[in-house]
C-alpha cells in the first residue's frame, strides 16, 4: 500500500510539474513574439535647424547708439541662433585697427563687443566696396574681421533668416 501511495504522489508531482512548465513556457513564447514585433522603433526625427539672425549695421562713428545696439543684439542672439554681422557704408570705420572704441551709457564698448562676438564664433564681415570707398584695405581691419562675400549671406544658417538693420 505504501508503494501505491508513493507512486501516486510521484505521478501527482510529475503532473503538477508538467503543467507548471507548460504555463511558464507559453508566456515566454508570447513574450518573444511581442519582442519581435516591438523590436523596431523608428529613430526620432532630427532637430529642426537653428534659425539665423542677419545683423546689418550701416551706421558708423557718427551714431554710436545704432552701432552698439547692433553689436549687442548680435552678441545676445548668438547663444541660441546662427548669427552673421554685416557692416557696410559708414560701419566699416568702426572695425578698423586704428578706429576709436565707441562708448555709450548702458552698453559695453564697441571693441569689447566685437571681441566677444568673434569669440562666440560669429562672423563679422565688411563690404569690400565700402572699404575701398573709405580708402582702406582688408589689412586695415581689426583681427578676425573678414571681407563679405555673397555666399555667406545664405550659408551661415540652415534655418530661416531674420534681419535686423542698424
Instruction: Name the stretches of the chain with pLDDT < 50.
Output: none
The answer to whether 103 and 109 have CB atoms below 8 angstroms apart is yes
* pLDDT in the model for residue 96: 98
Q: Per DSSP, which regions of the chain are E strands?
A: 52-57, 82-87, 123-126, 146-147, 161-165
What backbone phi and psi angles, to 5 degrees, belong to 163? -115, 130
Give this prediction's pTM.
Answer: 0.72
Quick one: pLDDT at residue 66?
98
**DSSP string covering 99-117, please?**
PPPP--TTS--HHHHHHHH
Amino acid at each position: 500500500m505504501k508503494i501505491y501511495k508513493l507512486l501516486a504522489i510521484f505521478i501527482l508531482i510529475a503532473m503538477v510539474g508538467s503543467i507548471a512548465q507548460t504555463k511558464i513556457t507559453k508566456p515566454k513564447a508570447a513574450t518573444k513574439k511581442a519582442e519581435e514585433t516591438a523590436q523596431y522603433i523608428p529613430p526620432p526625427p532630427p532637430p529642426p535647424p537653428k534659425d539665423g539672425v542677419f545683423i546689418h549695421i550701416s551706421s558708423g562713428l557718427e551714431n554710436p547708439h545704432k552701432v552698439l545696439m547692433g553689436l549687442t543684439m548680435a552678441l545676445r542672439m548668438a547663444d541660441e541662433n546662427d548669427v552673421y554681422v554685416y557692416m557696410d557704408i559708414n560701419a566699416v570705420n568702426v572695425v578698423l585697427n586704428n578706429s576709436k572704441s565707441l562708448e555709450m551709457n548702458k552698453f559695453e564698448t564697441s571693441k569689447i563687443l566685437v571681441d566677444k562676438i568673434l569669440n562666440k564664433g560669429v562672423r563679422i564681415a565688411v563690404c569690400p566696396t565700402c572699404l575701398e570707398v573709405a580708402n582702406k584695405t582688408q589689412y586695415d581691419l581689426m583681427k578676425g574681421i573678414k571681407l563679405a562675400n555673397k555666399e555667406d549671406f545664405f550659408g551661415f544658417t540652415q534655418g530661416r533668416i531674420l534681419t535686423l538693420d542698424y
